[in-house]
Chain A
């Protein structure tokens, strides 16, 4: 088990390194950092000057090595745009996004799992069709649109919740619902099919032969098996909440990493964008790792030879 985890960690790290390198290359080729600092219509000499001072004329590999070395030491570089260390920027904004991600994942779980389970337990019933209807319409509704509608209804019309900002926990309710809702269809469908498969299985028949029915049958025999595949998807969805925070945070004026990313991109702030993409990638990889470990913990077939 320990060896398995170590192997997965090593693999995850390798993926993260490759990802960071690729984003570094892309960012440095797609945009010219010197121009980004100097501004669109700067004189060529000024740009050249900046290129020399910042060392942008050196080979990209050397610069990547420098950057990576910095990251390892905890030095994330300086933001050209905000004129602050990137590390400071990230530390300021990360807790907000983390809270948003966790809250929206909870929204997903609270809606998608029960819906999926109930739908699977009553296949082709009105309930099942309703759940499926919700899933389909939720998938068709764009995130920003749902966000705007919720703001108009809950914040403007009924004044139940604040419109925007991140001052109190109440501010996170609407954005979490919006962000969380986007994962509901995928997770619900997976829960439903997983549960349907399990309920058809021979071991459920065995449990029924032992007299288990209803909630006890589901809880004691079906749930763990049905949720094994869902766990992996939830982990991926949590990762997706981080990148998904770009739009949601902008709509709700939340000062998190997503909004930071958008502003930095608009300001061509390469060091910040680079770190943020790297961070999002790390979160993604870490979530997958977590899912693997959880799966191994819950499924003995993966655990022992």
Chain B
């Protein structure tokens, strides 16, 4: 039996909030042996970060930590003053990598200084030795030309490179435990794949214990040995990856798996989880998932369910016996089949380019950048056309031009046969409407939901007050928003509800085309499923044409008819979604597809690839 490096029993974190004590983490227990990795998955707000911060002594001032046992190596963290923890353990025995690579490095100091200061501070190395070690680690994490980059500043690195720097920094002192909180969430899939592989390699080579926190089941499936599913502050299911993801026993785990679009599987309607996570204040007297659970019975409200064993090493917190929990599979509605051959395209791009000339500033020479490069594209009425590519490939610039928010430098965009430039005001608004990525920033926080949805009508002076009110009511029903929300403000709604509001606003003028720029990337899987289902329904019911921009292959697989792959401003491959996803012709498309974490693939190859020496 390997040495236990981290031993946690009944860890709780309570936050002092205006509405009372919030149990952000509740009775979390686990132990990690040297060389072992644990994944913590759950939707946002489930308490994953609080768990990590509690282990790192980084909790906010308003939080209190309790645990019956909290041991790191032979140190009892419950009794150790923070000064001593900072002095002897932080960064040395336990290190952390954060989600936001763009802001987690100090902008005014060099990478070299930030890499070396930790080991120099504690006297583990002198400056020269620390520099040598930093150069070594930089090379190890795949940063080119370490000697030069050592003296550069964070803004001179890309997001992926900064995350490599963060990893190198966390590894400088060869910690026994490393915690990574959503280390790849802010990165492109191809970069994510590289970073995850790097972390898995390093963890194995250096024999560290690792905690990987993520909301992405695919990511845990391919990177860790064991997984804990977190919900409302508690671990609701724990076990080997193959056990938890392959034979889920808790209804929440099963529901999460059913809600995630699986790019390798057959297309079916996603089983969305209704409702949203409910924060728990004070005592837990019922199952925390009870308000969303499809299997809930009065028993579930009678008391807080204890952990039960499903198999050796596999436990779940639910009153139900250990049985499989299949989802009800429904076919995705497709609407009436369309005569694709004869219909003229609703959107047609010919030789469209957008060149950005940066102006000369004190620090930059002027240069020009082809964000969109000679793109030809036709979108047919009633189809869902997906444009995929990594960040910076030109997707959003193209969308802006479609919406008339930007003008092509060359080429022409036609909608319904008319040049976009000739379509003004109501004419354009009635044909094409946007839905943006972030439902938190795209809605005016000071307007009521009803006003927000009616805004396009008000903007173009359409309809009387009564007609607008009628239209709002109809469109809210269409997108599945309760009528009562009319008088609420955006901050009273959840992320998924806000995105419904954004869609309702886009639909109120009955446009033919919806341009959705990453419509679900700010949402949790369970909510993403609701929105994708809604889009599929709208397409089937009212024959909407969807122009979908995304970096998420799962989303494409779920609802797209045709797909175009964009790289550096150009369309490198296009075709029917099924064909492009299953037999891609271009190398770039293949790279993109291979980078997408797939649970099925990971489970199939996982066990032998991860190589578990003592078969725990």
Inter-chain contact A299/B108, CB cutoff 8 Å: yes
Q: Is A298 an interface residue (CB 8 A)?
A: yes
Contacts A211-B91, A221-B106, A224-B108 given: A202-B98 contact, CB under 8 Å? yes
Contact of B108 among A208, A211, A300 (CB under 8 A): A300
- A sample of 12 inter-chain contacts (CB < 8 A) reads A202-B103, A202-B104, A208-B86, A209-B91, A210-B117, A210-B118, A211-B86, A212-B86, A213-B86, A300-B155, A301-B153, A304-B363
Contacts A7-B362, A300-B155, A304-B363 given: A209-B108 contact, CB under 8 Å? no
Inter-chain contact A203/B121, CB cutoff 8 Å: no
Q: Is B293 an interface residue (CB 8 A)?
A: no
Interface residues as binary, A194-238 with B (CB distance below 8 Å gives 1, 0 otherwise): 000000011101111111110010001100110010000000000
Inter-chain contact B121/A209, CB cutoff 8 Å: no
Complex contacts, B92 vs chain A, CB 8 Å = 211
Task: Give the residue name and chain of the B residue nearest to A303 (CB).
Answer: B363
Contacts A209-B58, A210-B91, A210-B117 given: A225-B153 contact, CB under 8 Å? no
Cα A303 to Cα B58 with chains together (Å): 33
Task: Give the residue name and chain of the B residue nearest to A201 (CB).
Answer: B103
Interface residues of B (CB under 8 A from A): 56, 58, 82-83, 86-87, 89-92, 95-96, 98, 100, 103-110, 117-118, 121-122, 153, 155-156, 166, 169-170, 362-364
Closest Cβ–Cβ distance, residue A196 to chain B (whole Å):
12
Contact of B58 among A208, A228, A300 (CB under 8 A): A208
Interface residues as binary, A155-180 with B (CB distance below 8 Å gives 1, 0 otherwise): 00000000000000000000000000
Q: Is A18 an interface residue (CB 8 A)?
A: no
Complex contacts, A72 vs chain B, CB 8 Å = none
Cα A216 to Cα B91 with chains together (Å): 15
A-B residue pairs, 10 tightest by C-beta: A211-B90, A210-B91, A210-B118, A4-B362, A202-B103, A300-B153, A203-B106, A305-B363, A211-B91, A202-B104
Cα A210 to Cα B116 with chains together (Å): 10
Inter-chain contact B83/A213, CB cutoff 8 Å: yes
Cα A206 to Cα B106 with chains together (Å): 9
Contacts A209-B90, A211-B90 given: A203-B362 contact, CB under 8 Å? no
Complex contacts, A305 vs chain B, CB 8 Å = 363-364
Closest Cβ–Cβ distance, residue A6 to chain B (whole Å):
9
Complex contacts, B108 vs chain A, CB 8 Å = 224-225, 228, 298-301
Closest Cβ–Cβ distance, residue A280 to chain B (whole Å):
28
Q: Is A58 an interface residue (CB 8 A)?
A: no
Complex contacts, A300 vs chain B, CB 8 Å = 107-108, 110, 153, 155
Inter-chain contact B362/A225, CB cutoff 8 Å: no
Given contacts A209-B90, A228-B108, 16 further A-B contacts (CB under 8 A): A4-B362, A203-B106, A205-B58, A208-B56, A208-B86, A208-B90, A209-B96, A210-B90, A210-B95, A210-B169, A213-B83, A224-B109, A299-B107, A300-B107, A300-B110, A304-B363
